[in-house]
A and B are shown apart, each in its own frame.
Chain A
Amino acid sequence: MSDANEAANEPIAVIRTPISLDYHYSAGQSASRFLRAIAQGKLLGQKCPVDGRVYFPSRGACPQHGVTFGDEVVELSDKGTVVTFSIVRVPSENIPLELPYITINVLLDGADTILIHVLDAKLEDVRMGMRVQAVWKPKEEWTTSTANILYFRPIDEPDASYDSYKEHI
């Protein structure tokens, strides 16, 4: 356990005290539908019947108005716009990406909520408004998991206007 203290005669200065919580997670009806759709390569959102905003991923009810979304779903593009980004230079356990890497808040076309993901681009190229598209695993590896999307990559489209995403920053 105490790999920091391997030298048998060194004083023990640090101990590991991990805390682990083991859940059996039930996705519920709405998220299950979302996950079954992503296994087919489809990205489902749901529209709030009160203000028409499209929530992604789909969920059972509107967090703002408390109304149920029912069965109607909206299929979204796997293209979107970088709303904000961060360059990660500090390693984190459980994230096996090579440093530095870019995380993005991406607004998928047709959605009104942002998705947090990773962007494969040169550090100097990433910018707000950049147009990006999801890169998927090979189709035969798709499962009911958001991990079907590996990362996003830039695409050759003009940057989105600031007004088009400013309320999502």
Chain B
Amino acid sequence: MSPTLEKALTAPHKLEYTYKRSLGPVLSPFFTALRDRRILGVKRRDGRVMVPPKEYDPDTSESLDELVEVSDEGVVTSWSWVATPRRQQPLDRPFAYALVKLDGADTAFLHVVDAGDEGNMETGMRVKARWADETTGMITDFVFVPA
């Protein structure tokens, strides 16, 4: 190596992709409903309800457009405790990522449970949405808390 070795320069480097996403005919009503503190799913032909809604049936690929409101309470089907949240995660204190099957839905979806302590988490526990004071139509308009 070179005898003139100097300490390498370092600098912060932020790489950012400023995406905007067009929501389409199914997710647009879903996010719009979040602003009104309501949660929508989509009904498949066999009557099962998917939350969050999808535009197409995952088995038959047929178009889906029958939106139905589900409860903002449900059951934790699986969870993982985040003991040391990172800067860009949704809460700045320990929380759980959980799959929550809402009452009226047939699928579980991934969201945050603000449970305070890992000891408060249990598969099968009931949770309910705690809505932000001001909702804007974002998935972060609510988190779940133990019911």
Interface positions of A (Cβ within 8 A of B)? 1-2, 4-5, 8, 11-29, 31-33, 35-36, 70-71, 93-94, 144
A20: which of B11, B15, B22, B138 is its contact (CB, 8 Å)? Answer: B15
B147 to chain A minimum Cβ distance, whole angstroms, is: 27
Cβ–Cβ contact A17 & B21, under 8 A: yes
Cβ–Cβ contact B8 & A23, under 8 A: no
Cβ–Cβ contact A20 & B21, under 8 A: no
Complex Cα gap A30–B94 (Å): 42
Cβ–Cβ contact A28 & B28, under 8 A: no
Complex Cα gap A1–B34 (Å): 14
Chain A residues lying within 8 Å of B138, measured Cβ to Cβ, are 1-2, 15
Known contacts A12-B137, A29-B6; decide if A18 and B17 are in contact (CB<8 Å).
yes
Complex Cα gap A25–B8 (Å): 10
Complex Cα gap A28–B138 (Å): 41
B19: which of A16, A28, A29, A144 is its contact (CB, 8 Å)? Answer: A16
Complex Cα gap A70–B136 (Å): 57
Known contacts A16-B20, A21-B15, A25-B13; decide if A11 and B32 are in contact (CB<8 Å).
yes
Q: Mark B21-33, 1 if CB is under 8 A from A, else 0.
A: 1110000110110
Cβ–Cβ contact B2 & A19, under 8 A: no
Does B60 interact with chain A (Cβ within 8 Å)?
Answer: no
Chain A residues lying within 8 Å of B20, measured Cβ to Cβ, are 4, 14-17
B1-54 contacts to A, CB under 8 A, are 2, 4-23, 28-29, 31-32, 35
Cβ–Cβ contact B23 & A15, under 8 A: yes
Which of A15, A16, A26, A33 has its CB near the most chain B CB atoms (within 10 A)?
A: A15
B143 to chain A minimum Cβ distance, whole angstroms, is: 16
Cβ–Cβ contact A33 & B6, under 8 A: yes
B32: which of A12, A24, A27, A31 is its contact (CB, 8 Å)? Answer: A12
- Closest-by-CB residue of A relative to B140 is A1
A89 to chain B minimum Cβ distance, whole angstroms, is: 20
Complex Cα gap A15–B5 (Å): 49
Does B88 interact with chain A (Cβ within 8 Å)?
Answer: yes
A19: which of B13, B17, B32, B35 is its contact (CB, 8 Å)? Answer: B17
Known contacts A25-B10, A27-B11, A28-B8; decide if A14 and B2 are in contact (CB<8 Å).
no
Cβ–Cβ contact B18 & A93, under 8 A: yes
Cβ–Cβ contact A26 & B8, under 8 A: yes
Chain B residues lying within 8 Å of A14, measured Cβ to Cβ, are 20-23
- Closest-by-CB residue of A relative to B29 is A11
Complex Cα gap A142–B28 (Å): 49
Which of A12, A26, A29 has its CB near the most chain B CB atoms (within 10 A)?
A: A12
Complex Cα gap A22–B13 (Å): 6
